[in-house]
């Protein structure tokens, strides 16, 4: 089992744990953090391929830097939306944000 396969397996494990958190947790902050975990798993794949890919280059690391920047922007906007919703509904439970469904 090469090192690349080990890194990809670890990233798959982290991605699946993050997906489980997104699907089962009710607290919106935990859902956001689980999404960050999934993004981190994707970043790990990019960095692993930048070293162990067929043509090793720094492009994978540059892409992971861009992905991290987007994740930070997403977290900031996500927490802002969450606080605006909390001010309106006084809850962070994602089950209760169902106004569009009713």
Partner 1 sequence: MLNFNIDFTGEFFAFFLLAVCAIVGAVLAVNFTKVVHMALSLAFTFVSLAGLYVVLQAEFVAFVQVLLYVGAVTILMIFGIMMTKHQSEGQERGRPLLETLAAIGCLCLFGILFYAIRSAGFAKPDVPLPDNNTLSIGKLLYSTYAIPFELVSVLLTVAFIGAVALAKREEDQP
Instruction: Give me the least distance between CB of 102 and partner 1, in Å please.
Output: 20
CB of 54 to partner 1, least distance (A): 5
Per-position b or e across 5-35, b if 16+ CB within 10 A of its CB: eebbeebeebbeebeebbeeeeebeebbbbb
Report the site for partner 1 in 79-98 (rule: CB under 8 A): 79-84, 86-87, 90, 92-93
Instruction: Assign 3-class secondary structure to 38-66.
Output: HHHHHHHHHHHHHHHCCCCCCHHHHHHHH
Shortest separation between residue 101's beta carbon and partner 1, angstroms: 17
Q: Which residues in the 18-47 window bind partner 1 by CB under 8 A?
A: 18-21, 23-27, 29-30, 32-34, 36-37, 40, 43-44, 47
């Amino acid at each position: 089992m090469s090192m690349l396969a080990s890194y990809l397996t670890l990233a798959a494990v982290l991605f699946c744990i993050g997906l489980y958190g997104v699907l089962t947790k009710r607290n919106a902050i935990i859902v956001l953090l689980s999404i960050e975990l999934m993004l981190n798993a994707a970043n790990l794949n990019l960095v692993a391929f930048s070293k162990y890919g067929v043509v090793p280059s720094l492009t994978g690391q540059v892409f992971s830097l861009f992905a991290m920047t987007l994740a930070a922007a997403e977290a900031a906007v996500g927490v802002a939306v969450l606080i605006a919703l909390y001010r309106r509904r006084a809850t962070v439970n994602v089950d209760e944000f169902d106004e569009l469904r009713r």
